[in-house]
Amino acid sequence: MLEINTCGLYCAAGGFHIDPWKPAPRAVITHAHSDHACPGSEAYLCAAASRQLVAARVGEDARIETMEYGETRDLGGVRLSLHPAGHILGSCQARLERNGEVWVVSGDYKVQPDTTCPAFEPLRCHVFVTESTFGLPIYRWPPQAEVFGEIDAWWRANREAGRTSVLLVYPLGKAQRVLAGIDCSAGPVAARASVERFNALYRQAGIALPGTRPPAGVPPGALVLAPPWTIPPAWFRRLGPVSTGMVSGWMRIRGTRRRRSLDRGFVLSDHADWPGLLQAIEATGAERVRVTHGYRYPLVRWLRERGLDAQAFETRYTAEQDETGSEDVEEIS
């Protein structure tokens, strides 16, 4: 039912692409991260909860239609419905049914629930198209409450030492999950512009998040949420003594923290870990699995050894990494 062409995952019968990486006539969008929501398509279709986030990516003037979770729509004889993926606000899996055959495209997902988005919904299908960002057995996530406790303790120790805590988080999804999970009553919390932009959209969608302030003039001991890609030395000097940390699944590997010269790394991801991937795949009952990005071949090999028809799809999705962006234009005076 699905093939790969120059724009990405394509359903010829329905006449639409799913998360095309180039402009397409009709794009079904699983979530609003930049590698899945490309501007320039003629028409977009996404989950209703994702509408404002997708518009922030592809442009407010874009033609964007929405569907509620579980609602069905007929596109050229293909019954399409969207279901929660548990990745970020508005993220969805796309379920396609035609002539009795069901395909499910996961987009990015996690099976660990959190308060900022609906939980992942297992869907039975014949073919499951899955990500594999962290598709190695070494990637296993600790309980998120434990991670939030570690962040709180690090922030508290820095505050007592008169240091500002600069926490690097992906602006869309990770920042809001952290903000909802940590103890924000402990002191002032600031967020750079590219983070606060999405905080505001989450609040508009009814997600309860503590308030934040701009970083300019924050007192020593504050917590500052910042994107991973813009931390020049001058930025640090304006904050006074600082301690740096980063929240990411990649922090599971100690060398990643050392290469970034970070003081602390906190292991928390909005993608499924190795057990989560296996859990999700098993829950589908699919005999055919197609793996789109991340550590594809280890997962494909593991599934084949257990009798499944597993193959890797060549796609351009970039997994969990620093989203390059120029929207972070805030200055600290």
> How far apart (Å, rounded) are the C-alpha atoms in residues 210 and 199?
9
- Picking from 154-163, 282-291, 315-324, which range would have the lowest pLDDT averaged per residue? 315-324
Q: pLDDT, tens digit, for every residue of 293-305?
A: 999 999 999 999 9
* Residues listed for the chain: 333
> How far apart (Å, rounded) are the C-alpha atoms in residues 183 and 135?
31
0.85 exceeded by pTM? yes
- Domain boundary assignment for the chain: 3-138+270-312, 144-266
Answer CATH for 144-266 from 3.40.50.12780, 1.10.3720.10, 3.30.70.1230, 3.40.50.10710: 3.40.50.10710
Q: Return the CATH class of domain 3-138+270-312.
A: alpha beta
Partners of 128 in the β-ladder: 104, 289
Amino acid occupying residue 323: E
Is the sign of the CA dihedral 178, 183, 184, 187 positive or negative?
negative
Q: What share of the chain is helix, strand, coil (3-state, %, to 5)?
A: 25, 25, 45
Distance of alpha carbon 172 from the chain centroid: 7
| Cβ proximity of 190 and 223 under 8 Å | yes
Q: pLDDT, tens digit, for every residue of 180-195?
A: 999 999 899 999 999 9
Q: pLDDT, tens digit, for every residue of 97-107?
A: 999 999 999 99
* Banded model confidence at residue 322, pLDDT cuts 50, 70, 90: very low
The HSE-up count of residue 287 (CA atoms within 13 Å, CB side) is 2
**Percent of the chain predicted with pLDDT > 70:** 93
Q: Do 144-266 and 3-138+270-312 have the same topology in CATH?
A: no
Across residues 63-80, what is the average pLDDT? Answer: 98
Q: pLDDT, tens digit, for every residue of 213-230?
A: 999 889 999 999 999 986
Helix (H, G, I), strand (E, B) or coil at 332: coil
